[in-house]
Structure formats: structure tokens, C-alpha cells
Amino acid sequence: MRSVAIPCRDGVILGGHLWSSPGVARHGTIIINPATGVLARYYHDFATFLAGHGFDVLTYDYRGIGLSRPARLRGCGYRWRDWGELDFDAALRFAKAGDAGHRLFVVGHSIGGFLPGLAAQAPAIERLLTVGAQYGYWRDYAPRHRAALFLKWHLVMPAVTALCGYFPGKRLGWLEDLPAGVATEWSFRRSRMELSHPRPARHDVLHRFSRLTAPILALSMSDDEFATVPALRRTLNYYRGSEPIQVLLNPDDLGHYAVGHFALFRKRHAADFWPATVLWLRDGVNPWPDRRIGPDHGDGVAL
């Protein structure tokens, strides 16, 4: 592992790390996109695992988070869309420059599975694995948890953000601190993502999504209160240039009682979930063909 600095088009420098395993047959480079408010270091054990299976792996923090946090978060002006249009796009360019002509793969967790469609460099992606991909539209939350999640993320979060000038998530024990623009986009996200963009930019945003043609394996857990089947489909509907495979797993498919939205990247899944991801990223094989869901699958998720 070595530290890297990733330059964005607007001059912002992102902090990250690059893993490689000399002496192991290489299959390409994987970029790991974190969830909102989650430090890149949360994925370091998973990155180490992937490097041991023949991939170079790039992890990085979005602007405003962790190694990419400015000296003053209040008033920095960073937005959610910047993480895709500028930050992930910069990560793709960085990976391409360091490994010209080689294969590029992406693992996107939560919002990290949505951001690739915003990047101009997205056509360079060969294969995409999304884990709990969604962008926080409140009506998609699991019914049993919807009221509590709406109160937390769509009422309390914007109120605290307005008061502080940024969202002090770490102080509250609600993930990491977030720039005000990121928190606000999450809190007031409407059913159509492009409505968060200025009207003249909306056509271009949708066009960028359609240019991503990489195969997508879109995975969610049945006990994930954020990334329900409707949330998964709301995200995948933007990727019109791809034919995604949708998979819904139960925790006991992996030998666990509960998994939820975050746990798949913890070391306790190094013997079940992690090896299965290699089959998709390296070989394009869906490890869970019996858990594939189609258009006739009910939109409700029992929790």
C-alpha cells in the first residue's frame, strides 16, 4: 500500500491509497467508491484482500471526507454531485494513467454505486459491482424503518446543517462530518436524481449515465433498510446503456443472522462475501444465480 494524491479538474486534491501485490498475476485495477460519510479506510481490509487476488486497488476519500477534508469544512461548497462528476472522474483518470491499456473495475457501496454514471470517464469501466446502491430517496426506505430514517436524515440532518454550516455527523455518532452541500442534496433528494441539477444540465447528466455500458452486478441484502428493491431499481434505471444483474441476498445465504447496509466490507465476511466478489470482478460470473431477481419481483422487502 502506498499513499497517493489524486488531482481533480477543479484543482481539488484527493487523498487515497493504492494497493498492489508484486508477483501475483494481475487482472486489472479496481476503484472502490465509499458510501456517504464513510472513510475510505473502512474498505482497506477488503482492498488488501482484492490485491492478494491479483488486482491493483485504488481507495480514496471524496472531497470533504477523511484524507480529502479541507482545513475548514464550513462554507467549502462541496456537493454530492461533485463526488461523481469531479472526484470519481479523477479517480478513473488516475487509474487509467497509472495502468494504461489495462482493465478497470469498480466496486461502489451505497452512493458509490450511483456516482459512476455521473463521470465523463465512465465508458472506461469494464465491470461494475454495486453493493446497496441507492441515493437516499426517502420513499424507498424499508417501510418499517421509513419514519425513523426520514426524521433522522431528512429533518434533523438539514436542520443541524443549517445551524452549523456543515453536518457534524461524527460528533453525533452518525457517520462522518459532511459538507453542507452533500447533506442538503441528501436531505432534499427528489424521486428523480437529475432534478437536483440545474435545468440546463439535466440532459447531459442523463446522457452520461447512458454512456456507461459495463456489465453491472447490483447486490442488496434483504435486511438493508436503505437499499431496498425499489431503491436498487431507481438507481439501475439510470444505467440505460447496461443490462444489470440484480441480486437480493438473505443474511443466512452468507451464514449470518444480520448484515444490513454496511457489514459486507467488514472482515467477518472475508470467507463468504469477499471471495464471491472476485468471481464477478475477474470472470464476470454471478456467484448467486439462484438469488437473481427480475422485473416481476415484488417491490416490498420484508424486514
Residue 204 has pLDDT above 90, yes or no: yes
Looking at the 3D structure of the chain, how many domains does it have?
A: 1
Give the position of cell 443466512: 252
Q: How far apart are CA 251 and CA 224, in angstroms?
A: 10
Residue 142 in domain: yes
Q: How far apart are CA 98 and CA 102, in angstroms?
A: 9
Q: What is the mean pLDDT of residues 269-275?
A: 97
Residue 226 in domain: yes
- pLDDT of 301 reads 38
- pLDDT of 300 reads 41
Q: State how beta strands 292-293 and 55-60 pair.
A: unpaired
Residue 57 has pLDDT above 60, yes or no: yes
Determine the structural domain holding residue 286 and report its residue range. Answer: 2-293
What angle do helix axes 273-283 and 44-51 make, rounded to 10 degrees?
Answer: 50
Q: How far apart are CA 59 and CA 44, in angstroms?
A: 8
- Give the DSSP per-residue string, the chain: -EEEEEE-TTS-EEEEEEE--TTSPP-EEEEEEPPTT--GGGGHHHHHHHHTTTEEEEEEPPTTSGGG--S--TT---BHHHIIIIIIHHHHHHHHHHSTTS-EEEEEEGGGGTGGGG-TTGGG--EEEEES-----GGGS-TTTHHHHHIIIIIIHHHHHHHHSEE-HHHHTSSS-EEHHHHHHHHT--SSGGGGS-GGGHHHHHHHHHT--S-EEEEEETT-SSS-HHHHHHHHTT-TTS-PEEEEE-GGGGT-S--TTTGGGSGGGTTTHHHHHHHHHHH---S-GGGEE-TTS-S----
Residue 301 in domain: no
Query: Is 68:91 a contact under the CB 8 Å cutoff?
Result: no
Residue 71 in domain: yes
Residue 184 in domain: yes
- pLDDT of 101 reads 65
Q: Which of 154-163, 176-185, 187-196, 222-231 has the lowest mean pLDDT?
A: 187-196
Q: What is the mean pLDDT of residues 73-81?
A: 94
Q: How far apart are CA 4 and CA 108, in angstroms?
A: 20
Q: State how beta strands 292-293 and 245-249 pair.
A: antiparallel
Q: What is the mean pLDDT of residues 122-143?
A: 96
- pLDDT of 211 reads 95
CATH code of residue 13:
3.40.50.1820
278-298 per-position pLDDT tens digit: 999 999 999 999 999 976 555
- Count the Cβ atoms, other than its own, within 10 Å of residue 164: 15
- pLDDT of 102 reads 77
Q: How far apart are CA 143 and CA 119, in angstroms?
A: 32
Residue 298 in domain: no
- pLDDT of 197 reads 87
Query: What's the whole-number average pLDDT of the chain?
Result: 94
Confidence tier at 303 by pLDDT (50, 70, 90): very low
Q: How far apart are CA 196 and CA 290, in angstroms?
A: 37
- pLDDT of 302 reads 34
Residue 119 in domain: yes
Confidence tier at 21 by pLDDT (50, 70, 90): confident
Confidence tier at 184 by pLDDT (50, 70, 90): very high
φ/ψ of residue 166, rounded to 5: -160, 170
Residue 74 in domain: yes
Confidence tier at 23 by pLDDT (50, 70, 90): confident
- pLDDT of 295 reads 64
**12 Cβ neighbours under 8 A, 6+ residues apart:** 63, 68, 86, 87
